[in-house]
Amino acid sequence: MKASETKIEKFLASNETTFAIPVYQRNYDWTLTQCKQLLQDIIEAGRDNKINAHFVGSIVYVHDDVYSASGLTELTIIDGQQRLTTVTLIYSALMRVAKDQNDMQRVLRLSKTYLINEFASEEEKLKLKPTDNNKEALRHILSATEQQYKGYSRIIENFNFFKSSINAGNAEVIHRGLSKLIFVDIALDRYRDNPQRIFESLNSTGLELSQADLIRNYILMGLKRSDQERVFREYWEVIERFAKDENINKSKVSDFIRDYLTFKNKEIPNKGEVYIKFKAQYPTTTVDTLTEVLNDLKRLAQHYNKLVNPSNEPDKEIKRQLEYIHKIEINVAYPFLMKVYDDFEEKVIDKQCLLEILSLIQTFTWRRFILGLPTNALNKIFMSLYDKVDKANYLYSVQKSLLSRTGVQRFPMDIETVTALKDKDVYNIKPKNRSYLFERLENFENNESVVIDGNDAITIEHIFPQNPDPRWKVEMESEEYNFIKENLLNTIGNLTLSGNNGKLGNKSFLEKKNMNDQGKEQGYIFSRLWLNRELKSFDNWNKNSIQHRADKIGERFLKIWELPKIEMQQVDDESEVNIFDAEDPTFKKLEYAVFFDNRLEVKEVAKLFVEVIRQLYELETEALLAHAVDSRIVLVKNEEKDRLRAPVEISDTYCVETGHSNKEKFERIKSLLTFFGFEDELSIKYLDEHILK
């Protein structure tokens, strides 16, 4: 590696040289904000005679002694594309100014020095050789045609900014400023240096690349130029096209590969460590070793595309279920659903099985949402759920796996789900979740679908209003009035859909029910919506009315989000259970415990208490020390252990107070597990009572 301080104008003026942006580089994406800042810096440097140089970072390139068909030396830019491209656009704008002034000598000097290789073939004339999508835009600029460029290009946008900002009045200042720009010129030899290692180092010092950018570079940078082009076109470009949220034109490649690694390793990588995990999973990057994984990624990316963009699914029934899943953001299930979708495409399962599984995933997650069960428990469930699939009995095996979950991972039963639904504030939840709930309740077995999202005509209406007309208080006992307002206002029994919310407003119930202002039939009795059908039978609205209606909606809820009707083996009462489901440990002995899938041979609750804290200390030292007080865990330095009643050392530095009852120890353990999100990681098995006797 050779590094030196170089003027950027001298670098661009290199004779018979092409600066090639390889396909694995991210796109040119400097915004107008960055362009304005660079131009301002150049103008300030050009105006200030005391400034001899202005540093603009580094340009790192690989000198492979590659020569083009025209005999040009080709330098592969691995860092510095954004600056190099932007400076090229500034020189292009300066050339336009010179042309407008009819200064042809300067036009030729700028063109032949910084922008083109004069004697190269037409295909290789550009000194800067961007990726294909930018190459045509740069050619368009240098052709100086007055025709409008077809399509959108960041290069065109930024050039137009420079063209409007640079004129005859400031051109000389900008020329002087450009002559003062310097950078660190870092030339690499592919055979003696490690371009990927250097690239990683540059990224760690502030180059803002996504995890997908780093993975793309890792895959392609080590390949020969011909292999780079082929692998990029055949695999990576396809993956990028599919792994995108098309509604907002946002790349989802990093998320897609994170889900892919989750499925492969049964462990969810941190969002900032996807590249590191991918590199560890696939430590070599030869074409042969990459083909298998890239084929796998390419195939699954097509299914991922439909999960992220349900409108791309041609089958209406499947699309509807995907839209539901997308709406309530069950993203955590994507690692599992990609494989299920793949089995559907490969005809391992039929359409009906796929629909049943898509519905089952909604039922499982939505019931858990109604109960308020922790969402982090879903991570472990879905990352390993495909392993439980029996392809000979596909749907049943998935149903059985979910129904057999216990504790915080459990599949909520009918009674607890409906009970929670009646009491839950379903008005102040996420708007997408709220519209999902009401759309599905309304549209179940209805031929005329009602859409809430984006439909200003249909809104959610409080039957007992949020700000009731005084007549509500007059017509109702004050105790009941206050009870409804404090406890039932935002519950499912008091909410409905209406196309006349503004008209109905805060009026009394009978006015809302019978309203026919100017013959426009605004009242509930005229509504064709299912959610309003039963309101026609009520003569007044009170606590009993709300609770009765909630019962009816609860019955409909259980038909929509239906519990699978399959036979399950009875669970042995003496088997291991999650600590959150365990009986009171008072006067009980343990046979063993399982923590993070490792069996702990502990017989006393006190030993389990110490072992859990010891492992959490090793795993998350700072977090444990910070949260110990909130969990009522007393930790002190070993030299201060005389302060405690029953100290036990958990490390060379700290000891913990163990002088609590077994029940108190359990509560403290559960508090810690909840804090760390490890609720499903500790199971215990009590020793049989007859053994104790």
CA atoms within 13 A on the CB side of 263: 18
How many CB atoms neighbour CB 539 within 10 A? 8
The yes-or-no verdict on residue 207 having pLDDT over 50 is: no
How many CB atoms neighbour CB 667 within 10 A? 13
DSSP-derived 3-state class of residue 293: helix
pLDDT digit string, tens, across residues 96-140: 999 999 999 999 999 999 998 888 888 888 999 887 778 888 988
Rg (Cα) of the chain, in Å, rounded? 33
The yes-or-no verdict on residue 643 having pLDDT over 60 is: yes
pLDDT at 406: 78
List for the chain the helix, strand, coil content (%; round to 5).
Answer: 55, 10, 35
DSSP-derived 3-state class of residue 374: coil
pLDDT at 572: 46
The yes-or-no verdict on residue 629 having pLDDT over 50 is: yes
* 322: CB partners within 8 A, 6+ apart: 306, 307, 310, 313, 358
* 50: CB partners within 8 A, 6+ apart: none
How many CB atoms neighbour CB 535 within 10 A? 20
The yes-or-no verdict on residue 149 having pLDDT over 70 is: yes
The whole-model pTM stands at: 0.70
pLDDT digit string, tens, across residues 8-59: 999 999 888 888 888 777 778 888 999 999 999 999 999 988 888 888 877 8
Residues 397 and 445: beta-carbon distance below 8 Å: no
Chain centroid to Cα 106, Å, comes to 51
C-alpha span between 218 and 125 (Å, rounded): 29
Mean pLDDT of the region 141-148? 78
pLDDT at 692: 44
Spell out the SS3 assignment of 319-331: HHHHHHHHHCCCH
Dihedrals φ, ψ of 623, to 5°?
-65, -40
In this predicted structure, which of 146-150, 263-267, 399-403, 418-422 has the lowest mean pLDDT? Answer: 146-150
C-alpha span between 46 and 598 (Å, rounded): 67
C-alpha span between 178 and 84 (Å, rounded): 12
C-alpha span between 312 and 301 (Å, rounded): 13
> What DSSP element (H or E) covers 686?
strand 682-686
- Tokens coding 606: 């006190």
- Tokens coding 200: 């990683």
Whole-Å CA distances, 220 to 58, 192, 256, 623: 22, 18, 18, 39
pLDDT at 604: 94
Residue whose C-alpha is closest to residue 186's, from 76, 83, 87, 34: 76
Residues 386 and 340: beta-carbon distance below 8 Å: yes
Beta strands 73-79; 17-20: pairing state: parallel
Residue whose C-alpha is closest to residue 385's, from 438, 463, 332: 332
The yes-or-no verdict on residue 194 having pLDDT over 70 is: no
Q: DSSP state, 336?
A: H
- Tokens coding 513: 């029910």
Q: What mean pLDDT is reported for the chain? A: 88
Whole-Å CA distances, 596 to 58, 578, 579, 674: 46, 12, 13, 14
More confident residue, 289 or 3: 289
Residue 585's identity, in one-letter code, is: P
C-alpha span between 71 and 121 (Å, rounded): 10
Whole-Å CA distances, 254 to 16, 210, 250: 38, 7, 11
Q: Write 275-284 long-range contacts (CB < 8 A, 24+).
A: 275/211, 275/214, 275/215, 275/218, 278/215, 278/218, 279/215, 279/218
Residue carrying structure tokens 């898509």 = 358
Chain centroid to Cα 261, Å, comes to 14
pLDDT digit string, tens, across residues 565-607: 988 765 444 567 889 888 889 888 999 999 987 889 999 999 9
- Tokens coding 29: 């994406």
The yes-or-no verdict on residue 70 having pLDDT over 70 is: no
The yes-or-no verdict on residue 281 having pLDDT over 70 is: yes
Cα 183-189-191 angle, rounded to 5 deg: 160
Residues 100 and 106: beta-carbon distance below 8 Å: no
In this predicted structure, which of 31-40, 182-191, 260-269 has the lowest mean pLDDT? Answer: 182-191
DSSP-derived 3-state class of residue 246: coil
pLDDT digit string, tens, across residues 460-499: 999 999 999 888 988 888 899 999 999 999 999 999 998 7
The yes-or-no verdict on residue 644 having pLDDT over 50 is: yes
pLDDT digit string, tens, across residues 330-379: 999 999 999 999 999 999 999 999 999 999 999 999 999 999 988 888 98
Chain centroid to Cα 217, Å, comes to 22
pLDDT at 528: 87
DSSP-derived 3-state class of residue 594: strand
Confidence of residue 205 (pLDDT cuts 50, 70, 90): very low
Mean pLDDT of the region 501-528? 82
pLDDT at 191: 61
Residues 509 and 538: beta-carbon distance below 8 Å: yes
